[in-house]
Structure 1
Amino acid sequence: MERTPGRRLGMWAVALLALGGTLALGVTVATAVLVEDGYTSRSVPSVSMDPTYRRGDTAYFTLGGGSGIRRGDIALISAPTWVPKGDVLKRVVALGGDRISYKAGDPTLVLNGVPLEEPYLKDRATPATASFDVIVPEGRMFVLGDNRGNSNDSRMRLSDHDGTLPVSAVRGKAVAAPAGFLAAGAAGLVGIALILAGGGVGAAALVVRGRARRKGRLQQVGQVQAVAR
């Protein structure tokens, strides 16, 4: 039995497209499950948290209020008076009842009378750019970017509640990338690669079939011409 030209390529194309589509669907389902479990992710839009998070990095968060927030946590915060559209990503350096201060030229901030060690700063020699002294009201927090030379944070808003934000504005706390998100991302890349490969193989199958049809027509024409002679 004569095999249709390009048939094997066509079968490979269907298999690759089906597998790629299955993986893509699995990524969608896995991501939905992770969101249901209280996780989300965001692309970092600015350099204010550099070097901890660079512009374009993906940051992962556990969703929830600010009840479990601690000093040193990186929080996803709803602050429409700061950023009308979207959320802000900042580090919590002081909470209600804390006194946080800085005197121009000092090597560190001072938290409750104790020098605050901040190994995460982009420039540890410049923990702030201007002096301030704030006692954080209860239920509020003082937040800063790790890139103190390029961050719109509590220091810039001292005339409004001493630059503090309500703890209730916290939407999520930054965490290491959940394994499920990493697996979903890897599967998604594989799925895309398989779909692209399947499309390429399918195109090759069409080319082979087209050539075979043209060859068949030429042979038929040749046979007709031979009979006519």
Structure 2
Amino acid sequence: MGRAGRGRGLRVAGWILGVVGVAAAVGAGLVLRDGYTTAVEAGPAMEPTYTPGDRLFLEKLAEADGGDVRRGDVVAFRMPDAEGGEVVGGSGSWVGSGLQRVVGVGGDRVAFDGTKLTVNGTPVRESYVKGGDPGRGGERYDVKVPPGRVFLLGDNRANSLDSRYFTSEQSGTVSLGAVSARVLDSAAAPVALGVGSLTGVVLGLGGAGCLVAGYMLRGRRTESAWR
């Protein structure tokens, strides 16, 4: 193949690599930006599952995706009040935001008799609870979770401000609209998207290099033709 053929082949390869690379970098980057985030656990409410300083990967949840929240999920929640602060609960007495575990969803009956937690009459095996004692720091309750809301508890029952303490306000529950993200068990998905975006950048740069080389070869051919 002559120099002209090599130059044409490099230019074609450059355009292909460039288009594929830009599409991969932008597509994976947008999905990563819009679908995932990270957070650092600040308090002790979720010990021993997560400890202060742990960096967590979270899947963002749109309000329309609230129905996808399941029992056992650890979620991030926030509810702004009229003054811009953060409150959870009907009257605004539960102030704050953070990470807690979903124990009950709309329609569930959540009860604690002082020794065990039950959901719809079935005992819940809470191997994640700190100290193995689900009763630490809590009082007895028996509530029905309203539709479109979730009942939240911290894994560190002795040091968690959660649904147990506000059962007189919407049964202590939080609106699904206040749930912004779910903690991922694995960082595989966001890491894969990050790698995909980086690979796209590399392909795009490779394509640009091929285009430069291809046009340089064509320029040399044109120059030699006039000699």
Q: How high is the TM-score relative to the length of structure 1? A: 0.60
Matched, 1:113 2:121: yes
**One-letter identity of the residue aligned with 1:52:** T
**One-letter identity of the residue aligned with 2:41:** V
CA contact (8 A) 2:117 2:134 kept: no
CA contact (8 A) 2:75 2:99 kept: yes
Gaps spanning 5+ residues in structure 2: where?
Answer: 1-25, 80-85, 89-93, 195-227
State how far apart, in whole Å, the 1-side matches of 2:75 and 2:166 are.
18
State how far apart, in whole Å, the 1-side matches of 2:161 and 2:74 are.
15
Flag the 1:38–1:179 CA change in 2: closer, same or farther, 3 A: closer
Shift of residue 181, structure 1, vs aligned partner: 4.5
Q: C-alpha deviations, 1:34-77, integer Å up to 9, x for none?
A: 64251100010101000111001011111113221000011111
Q: Which residue of 1 aligns with 2:187?
A: 177
- SS at 2:158's partner residue? helix
State how far apart, in whole Å, the 2-side matches of 1:171 and 1:49 are.
17
Shift of residue 88, structure 1, vs aligned partner: 1.6
Flag the 1:180–1:127 CA change in 2: closer, same or farther, 3 A: same
Flag the 1:46–1:32 CA change in 2: closer, same or farther, 3 A: farther
Matched, 1:49 2:85: no
CA contact (8 A) 2:48 2:129 kept: yes
Q: Which residue of 1 aligns with 2:198?
A: none
Shift of residue 177, structure 1, vs aligned partner: 2.1
Q: Which residue of 1 aligns with 2:78?
A: 78
Shift of residue 167, structure 1, vs aligned partner: 1.3
Work out which of the two has the higher radius of gyration on C-alpha atoms and give 1 or 2: 1
Q: How does 1:1-229 map to 2 (within 5 A)?
A: 33=30, 35-65=32-62, 66-79=66-79, 80-82=86-88, 87-104=97-114, 106=115, 108-128=116-136, 129-175=138-184, 176-178=186-188, 180-181=190-191
Q: How high is the TM-score relative to the length of structure 2? A: 0.61
Flag the 1:182–1:46 CA change in 2: closer, same or farther, 3 A: farther
Task: Determine what percentage of the aligned residue pairs are the same residue.
Answer: 36
State how far apart, in whole Å, the 2-side matches of 1:81 and 1:75 are.
16
Flag the 1:111–1:124 CA change in 2: closer, same or farther, 3 A: same
Count of residues paired in the alignment: 154
**One-letter identity of the residue aligned with 2:71:** R
Shift of residue 33, structure 1, vs aligned partner: 4.9
Q: C-alpha deviations, 1:146-175, integer Å up to 9, x for none?
A: 001100100122221110011121111110
